[in-house]
């Protein structure tokens, strides 16, 4: 620890909203980051395609969207993430048909059959039609 830092002066300030934004509050909210990642980890454990399935990048040149497939036996999933602060209408690649959205970071928007309206920082997992 540098000489200027001591237990009384750790070198950084406490967030002024620490009484509302803290680990205890996070653990008490079902809408928290903690529970989001807990659900995501549980989803991954229950769906072997995410553990040992084939990975296919479906649109590697898109500047804002990261989209890939995970396939294992009869399970096919499409993961789509908007890695930007902009809304993006993402056209699904030819031949991909979503069956149902099975995981999201909060957005539950209706879309048409060939495109998704992705709000900023949106992340979704779709089960694909067989």
pLDDT at 63: 96
In sequence order, what E strands does 9-121 have? Answer: 54-57, 65-72, 75-82, 88-91, 98-104, 115-118
Q: Higher model confidence: residue 110 or residue 64?
A: 64
Q: Are 29 and 35 in contact (CB under 8 A)?
A: yes
Measured CA to CA, the distance from residue 78 to residue 71 in angstroms comes to: 9
Give the tens place of pLDDT for each residue, 78-96. 999 999 999 999 998 888 8
C-beta neighbour count of 89 within 10 angstroms: 10
**pTM of the predicted protein model:** 0.79
Work out the percent of the chain whose per-residue pLDDT is above 90.
48
pLDDT for 77 beyond 90: yes
pLDDT for 111 beyond 90: no
Measured over all CA atoms, what is the biggest interatomic distance in the chain, rounded to whole angstroms? Answer: 63
pLDDT at 122: 92
Q: Could you give the domains of the chain?
A: 16-46 (no CATH), 52-128 (2.60.40.1180)
pLDDT at 1: 43
**Unique residue bearing structure tokens 């999201």:** 104
- What does the block give as tokens for 92? 């699904």
pLDDT for 3 beyond 60: no
Q: Band of the pLDDT at 4, cuts 50, 70, 90?
A: low
């Amino acid at each position: 620890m540098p000489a200027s830092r001591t237990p009384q002066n750790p070198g950084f300030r406490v967030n002024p909203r620490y009484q509302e934004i803290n680990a205890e509050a996070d653990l008490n909210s079902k809408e928290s980051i903690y529970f989001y990642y807990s659900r995501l980890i549980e989803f991954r454990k229950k769906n072997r395609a995410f553990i040992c399935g084939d990975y296919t990048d479906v649109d590697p040149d898109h500047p804002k969207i990261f989209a890939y497939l995970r396939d294992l036996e009869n399970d096919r999933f499409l993961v789509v993430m908007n890695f930007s602060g902009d809304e993006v209408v993402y056209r699904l690649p030819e031949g991909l048909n979503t069956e149902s959205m099975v995981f999201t970071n909060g957005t539950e928007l209706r879309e048409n059959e060939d495109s998704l309206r992705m709000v900023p920082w949106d992340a979704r997992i779709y089960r694909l039609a067989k």
